[in-house]
Chains A and B, each alone.
Chain A
């Protein structure tokens, strides 16, 4: 028992440490002047060596722009993208709208999923069949294609709303299925029959007998949902579906440079394939790793919460 509590606390601490580290990186990135995320730099030099972007991590360079009219010195802790913009500053500015989006998406998924799951588990045969059929239609789709098509379809109503609808459409059915499965499991137990015979019904039955079984299941599902939403955002970005407008500058013989006015993590990943084909790993890896590390933080916290809720019953 004590070992499990210690393990849970270690996981919880590790999760918060990871998220704290990411928060520190974001704060550090936000302290960079905005022109390090907006201006395009043609190259940089150190001693007698000239480097073209993307610059590797830990580069400290004297930079010049296309017409050699501007010069500045800058330290790139995480390197730069293909236009010489600081990846730390870009990722920091991109993380905020992305996390806001993920928060709204996960809330929407849980709200819809729990309601429909309860209808499936508790409702009459017709209510259950209707809810299941409705949910099964959505879950029948390949998630990435559903999200991409829904986002495109709802884009005229506003890009952020289209993303919330498209990304929430994808995950709520897992929650509904889980809630329904737990409710069915409880209803099939002998203690549920005993509780009903004693007159425990409705909200009281739900609070006393269903919630204790739902809590660990949702505790496991929550970090999965956050990380799945983050990963979905990254995957949508990889297939060039992302939040907000960009301007693409064609580079002959190299990947196109995307000028980002309001950075978002999906946008930063939209050129991953081109960067990889050009052998430029850092601009592709840094935003992807940011998403993976953020997801890891939530995952660790969720695992710790799962352990604690199991101990609590």
Chain B
């Protein structure tokens, strides 16, 4: 089965879901996410196929070595190779989510809860690290490892091109910094706006404690907007995955994808492999789309008014 057949199958599945469930608005409120997932998957496969084919045909000298395209592998071999690379990547993303977006949200909530002006200013200053490119952060982290080794004699790098707890930690830390800062800044912006809302002023006038006001009148109404920011930070994280894996030679999906489109290390020969490139893109995109579907359901639960607006439109 070719890529276009796969895309067509996903469109048909989506269309069937729409035709069967859309007349019942309450059922449609839930199944629409599944239908959209089918259409998105179809679109991702189609656009990947178009772009990768265009790139393959363009055959720019910097990307495609003189060896040309790789011999076509069977679907099973490609699927096995991509699935094997997906596991380390998912591990990296999970650790990075805990370190980055989890940490960013926690700091944003704590700053609202504590209302300390100096801590807020410090956090805002620290968040300016957002402007540092990911590879520069990676270089900085390697220097930190070297300094730790120079000072204590303990190797903390965890090995190059290996999957060890330490190598996962460092790669995940680099991967987590920018998305963590992004979600922190967006969450702070939303929480700041929410703090000025009338219902918060009314709650303060009633003499409620700030902790209770934060929990019930600030965090809760802001949760739907924060979920959008969190989702964007996840996309940012998965987007930067190829670069981080390439830098640390971490054997995951991102590195496989870059090799498949012809990006390589010095003295390394790689071949443009359209099937592996499309499979890797679809696997990474599938991860993002799945998280997005879950977040949108969650968002509707957090703010029922959004669900009513979406159904009523």
Contacts and interface: CB of A to CB of B under 8 A. Distances in A.
Interface stretch (A53-61, A80-88, A181-189): A181-189
A185 B308 CA distance: 12
A295 interface: yes
B206 interface: no
B305 interface: yes
Given A141-B44, A299-B130, A155 B60 contact: yes
Interface stretch (B78-86, B162-170, B284-292): B284-292
Contacts of A296: 128, 131
Given A124-B313, A188-B303, 16 more contacts: A133-B36, A136-B289, A142-B238, A143-B236, A145-B284, A149-B51, A152-B58, A170-B239, A184-B310, A216-B193, A220-B186, A231-B133, A238-B135, A239-B258, A288-B136, A299-B131
Nearest to B131: A295
Contact of B313 (A128, A230, A235, A272): A128
A199 interface: no
Interface stretch (B101-109, B151-159, B208-216, B240-248): B240-248
Interface residues of B, number: 71
Interface of B: 32, 36, 39-40, 43-44, 47-48, 50-55, 58, 60, 62-63, 124, 128, 130-136, 139, 142, 182, 185-186, 189, 192-193, 225, 228, 232, 235-236, 238-243, 246-247, 254, 257-258, 261, 263, 265-266, 277, 280-281, 284-286, 288-289, 292, 303, 305-306, 308-310, 313
Contact of A149 (B52, B62, B285): B52
Contacts of A255: 266
A150 to B, nearest CB: 6
Contacts of B246: 239
Top-10 shortest CB links A-B: A153-B54, A137-B43, A143-B239, A295-B131, A152-B55, A140-B285, A188-B305, A234-B133, A153-B55, A149-B51
A141 B278 CA distance: 11
Given A128-B313, A184-B309, A188-B306, A241 B133 contact: no
A153 B239 contact: no
A40 interface: no
Given A133-B39, A148-B261, A220-B189, A139 B62 contact: no
B193 A310 contact: yes
Contacts of A274: 266
B292 to A, nearest CB: 7
A313 to B, nearest CB: 10
Interface in A237-294: 238-241, 255-256, 272-274, 276, 284-285, 288-289, 291-293
Taking each of B40, B53, B228, which has the highest tally of chain A beta carbons within 10 Å of its own beta carbon? B40
A129 to B, nearest CB: 7
Interface of A: 123-125, 128-129, 132-134, 136-146, 148-150, 152-156, 170, 174, 177-178, 181, 184-185, 187-188, 216, 220, 224, 227, 230-231, 234-235, 238-241, 255-256, 272-274, 276, 284-285, 288-289, 291-293, 295-296, 299-300, 303, 306, 310
A149 B225 contact: no
B143 to A, nearest CB: 9
A11 to B, nearest CB: 9
A289 B132 CA distance: 8
Given A149-B52, A238-B243, A139 B288 contact: yes
B263 A239 contact: yes
A149 B306 contact: no
A60 B289 CA distance: 55
Given A145-B258, A148-B261, A239-B246, A292 B136 contact: yes
Contact of B257 (A134, A142, A174, A178): A142
A123 B214 CA distance: 34
B197 to A, nearest CB: 11
A145 B286 CA distance: 14
A276 B62 contact: no
A266 B293 CA distance: 35
B62 A240 contact: yes
Given A142-B254, A156-B58, A174-B232, A133 B43 contact: yes
B92 to A, nearest CB: 13
Given A144-B242, A185-B225, A153 B51 contact: yes
